[in-house]
Structure 1
């Protein structure tokens, strides 16, 4: 009997030692650096099981032991807190660090930069070409998009703020448009609240239209306020704006990039050479600086401006038509000289 007890005690001791050794090994493995020597990005689809995630991570070289990782998730209670998404695991992340990332929900963020002066159509094209965006609007008309954004019947041009937007993979095109639209609504309201007294603008929307023209006409950031001032004074005096970008917008998608006399003489709602006042809608997506310039124009005597022809995109501002005509001639001479030098 005593011999049997010694055997049982010995077996128990071996089992305890084995369990302790196993626990020690598991603990060490959870703290051990992962096998990958470089960062790995893994997309975890919604509804994935912890077992499937563990096998995926082992296959991608993020962890060494899928079964141990799954066991750790279940024993720790973290298995139910794992979130789907696209994750970036730095080189040699430990299993504990890997689990912490999956629980944190800190997924990889992609970006799309909407450029100041882009048209709405250019923004739609950039969104459609982005590989991390979930595309739901491929066949949707502009009218459908604005309806789904809660603005039925409104023209989309101008209503999206140029900015860099960051988002997780799988964000829909409609979500991104909604974010950019709300950003513009807020930016326009902020600008309108700071407007100068007695402007010839009757609504925030008219400020948005003017800002879009300023955006397209400005080559240098520091000239935005002066350009806006010229347009404001022309509106106050009942002068036509006579701005080329509105004419080009009115030509439509067929515009080939160079305005000709026939374009300037063809009447459209956007031809500010044939019509007084602002065009019916914005002609581009203005940034915050252009919005600020539209409502806080620079005072001065200038009623005209024309490009200098220099590579910096600067303009020459004139007070009289005679002075403006001389500036136009100088601009043409500069262009000819540049072409001859090429």
Structure 2
């Protein structure tokens, strides 16, 4: 009798161990399943969300299929329970275990936003407003009010932010990004102002930003920036009008339809450098670091004119006769290009 009881107990223990082993393997298999993603996906875990609710959220978002063994993960893998709040990026190929590890590590995904050199403040605001991962706080706020919130004395914000790529986490506000871009800009322009070449016809870092914005709009060829800068510096020193088309376009505002006519060049605006002396009153675009450096460190030259070559880049001239020949060559190249 005792022997039979002993055998029965042994059998029960074996069955229990087998059942436990089976359950353990099922839970392990669940963790090793690849989450259902065809492309990268952002997931946000709200503060205070429990581990079980996180699993339910992943099921609700169709990342994996629920299993009766999910509840055992907490007991078998306590290291996967302490998930963090935040916004995270899941990549295709992740297993459920790896996805949970991402949440436990708590390294929030860094989004990026790129503000292109030569873009305008109104374009920045449209870009910020259209980003679903940025918290919107400036809806209906005027440019003057934004300047006040940023602690900027200028009522017009054109050119007062550094054009580059910024990293941010989910929930960063539009104002936060503008503040960083302005701080970065002031850091660059103040450093470059301290090391600028001598005897520039620029009275302040703000005037350097105005010139940098014009350089930014005039050329996309990196190797030309210092030479373009030298043309404008030389003209300022000789009290010649800058006569640069981008300032005309900026002054035309919404009336610009893609073409500049002779009457536009003759129509006075605060920005039309064909009709005003010196620099326009504000920058006409956001400049990058390279254009700011070029404005304060121009090439040493005698050039006073430049015109597009028609094949990329510009042709620079020291006098009007040379410039007129370059213009005729450019027009000839344009006609040639149209025939192709």
| Normalised-by-shorter TM-score class | 0.7 to 0.9
Task: Using the TM superposition, give the Cα deviation of residue 163 of structure 1 relative to its aligned residue in structure 2, in angstroms.
Answer: 1.8
Deviations 1:67-118 (A, max 9, x none): 6555534762654442231431432x33332221012233444433222111
**Where do 1:154-193 residues align within 5 Å?**
154-193=155-194
Moved more, 210-219 or 268-277: 268-277
Task: Assess if the C-alpha contact under 8 Å between 2:159 and 2:210 holds in 1.
Answer: yes
- The answer to whether structure 1 residue 262 and structure 2 residue 263 are counterparts is yes
Unaligned runs of 5+ in 2: none
Task: Using the TM superposition, give the Cα deviation of residue 155 of structure 1 relative to its aligned residue in structure 2, in angstroms.
Answer: 1.9
Task: Assess if the C-alpha contact under 8 Å between 2:58 and 2:64 holds in 1.
Answer: yes
Task: Using the TM superposition, give the Cα deviation of residue 152 of structure 1 relative to its aligned residue in structure 2, in angstroms.
Answer: 4.6
**Where do 1:1-342 residues align within 5 Å?**
6=6, 13=13, 17=17, 20-21=20-21, 24-25=24-25, 28-29=28-29, 32-34=32-34, 36=36, 38=38, 41-47=41-47, 48-65=49-66, 68-69=69-70, 71-73=72-74, 76=78, 78-91=80-93, 93-308=94-309, 310-312=310-312, 314-339=313-338, 341=339
Moved more, 290-299 or 21-30: 21-30
Task: Assess if the C-alpha contact under 8 Å between 1:269 and 1:275 holds in 2.
Answer: yes
Deviations 1:151-175 (A, max 9, x none): 2544211122222333344433223
Moved more, 143-152 or 243-252: 143-152
The change in CA–CA distance for 1:108 and 1:70 in structure 2 (over 3 A counts) is farther
Task: Using the TM superposition, give the Cα deviation of residue 319 of structure 1 relative to its aligned residue in structure 2, in angstroms.
Answer: 1.2
Which whole-Å CA distance do the structure 2 matches of 1:160 and 1:68 have between them?
53
Unaligned runs of 5+ in 1: none
The change in CA–CA distance for 1:66 and 1:200 in structure 2 (over 3 A counts) is farther
Task: Using the TM superposition, give the Cα deviation of residue 127 of structure 1 relative to its aligned residue in structure 2, in angstroms.
Answer: 2.3
Moved more, 276-285 or 109-118: 109-118
| TM-score (normalised: structure 1) | 0.85
Task: Using the TM superposition, give the Cα deviation of residue 204 of structure 1 relative to its aligned residue in structure 2, in angstroms.
Answer: 1.4
> Counterpart of 1:87 in 2: which secondary structure?
strand
Moved more, 21-30 or 109-118: 21-30
Which whole-Å CA distance do the structure 2 matches of 1:115 and 1:242 have between them?
24
Which whole-Å CA distance do the structure 2 matches of 1:52 and 1:276 have between them?
67
Which whole-Å CA distance do the structure 1 matches of 2:87 and 2:67 have between them?
19
Which whole-Å CA distance do the structure 1 matches of 2:161 and 2:197 have between them?
24
The number of aligned residues is 338
